[in-house]
Structure 1
């Protein structure tokens, strides 16, 4: 049972969504409102599992660019260190 205060919200859903919501509530032996609360609690837009394909591709692209920049920076530092040690050119 919910122990915290709840706020009443009203929203519109399609008839298909309403049927699915009632089915989920019945399957989980709870109320439609509880299914909605659980779905909201489970939703995390920063989790790749909850992202759209285009958003995932954008994230992957950004991470690859970040990794490439880090690699370039690391290679520059490594080259400087090797030069200082007299090992550059091997």
Structure 2
């Protein structure tokens, strides 16, 4: 759901021309990187809605790692969660 919210935010708010979605495995973690070439996130946008708060809450709830870099270059998120072993 966090990845869905990030993609939705990029489509609605970033004015991006491109969005990169990358999946990879790093040690025992599934990693998802989502990056756009949009206008970045400013403080006023962050306070308007619940989207970014929901992302943080969801990642915390499942014990996953989450990072976000934003600026004039666009926005890049990295989500990491442990892979369940059988």
Structure with the largest fraction of helix: 1
Q: Indicate the structure with greater strand content.
A: 2
Give the TM-score taking structure 1 as reference length.
Answer: 0.24
**TM-score, length-normalised on structure 2?**
0.25
Larger Rg computed on CA atoms? 1
